[in-house]
Structure 1
């Protein structure tokens, strides 16, 4: 009997972070925003696939293996005889990084090779990060988003701003994706990059104008998050944990949010915000982009049951 197709399909990039260590050596860690989001959702129990391409070398092997370990549907991952996409992280504080990936495997992802019937089975289809600025992949993904929206699928979008997006063509891509989106996650840092010169509130208002039908999540790191839908705003404080680092916390929040949206049809905005916050908090307790287990998230939710999120009317 064939395995059912996933409810949540995440398109985008998987890459290897080459992180400079104190002694000058480099540590390779599998990652990539979209791939991280997919792993989190899968580990939280949501039937999830990562739709992207990776190399056929040891870097691709590590990404494929970690994805399979998280429970991702392997039918959506493509292996391509091209070089790997690498992100060299020279410094985290302040962030300094650059990408190496000319004609790399991610750019050769072919949507025509996806399993038959995937779009009909999917409920939410996710896009974002640098995959939407790296051509020719970006054009293919833009078309996939358009087709999925036309098919009545809910589009999730996390821009995950990076310096690569400081190009004239990205503004058009941003407007198109926001116009399609049912769910948008942005951080305060994303807003500063996407709308330079605007303070956070004004930039958030711009996003909501460009995505009038979307529920929007604004994350602010240790200062918590806000979930906005229509005239309702839910405020969720950051959950207190012992922080190892914050790498991948935004991706964990996104994956946790979608796990709540799709995992419990009765989950209201408060429940969605709490699960997203808990997923991000658990991720922060481990070094690197850690995808939390459902039992870890549930344990933190139980431990913080006395400090729920709060909802208020009024459009910020």
Structure 2
């Protein structure tokens, strides 16, 4: 099919090439031969009168023209998928859809079990992929890699719609037999203690360093970092260290670990946990169902 002399089939090839920046990997992803994809790239170069991708050493690098097309091509394909290709009705009991949700292990621990419980009670045939967080989560929506993001409001993109699912407080957890567990936790004790932090590889600083370190003048003494929120409570066991974590996660972990939960010695506004989806998928009945399920799960998790 052609539109203004452009074979629209080439848009899929262009989107893949601009994403993976490799003819070999792109061909594997599209289930076609490298020579066929190379031919598609040649036709795209002729149409746009630009190389789009150039070979530099062993790498293919996107040209400025290619960069300018990248987001627009992905949005065009998302628009076609959401308005033309998506099934007009969604039945959770017969669907074969697999929903990809980018979220932290904290979200998978406190919220996702309640969502799956609801899905099970509905006898839904939907399936789910919970995927690790990345540095620029909105790009996962734009590239079609994620159906939904579950992220704090500080990381929500203004380009796509979102809703607040719930609010979360922060607390400290310490080993229940530690010295620091006795008496009131003051700002001075907090600053002097050793701290274990969750710091994923894609983020240079954690939530408190970026939001509150300057405000309160607190520089935490780092003992250890981890990629997982859920592992933080275990890392304070047997020590005088502190982990600052989400209150719901702390309460859940205190049921199985010898922990004491202490209030923070300073006030922090609650985190707003949001769900976000692509702007072109507002009318996707499957996503509407999933968002409603997550909202119900957020209510249920506080009824434990």
TM-score, structure 1 as length reference: 0.23
Q: Which has the higher contact order (CA 8 A, sep 6+)?
A: 2
Structure of higher CA gyration radius = 2
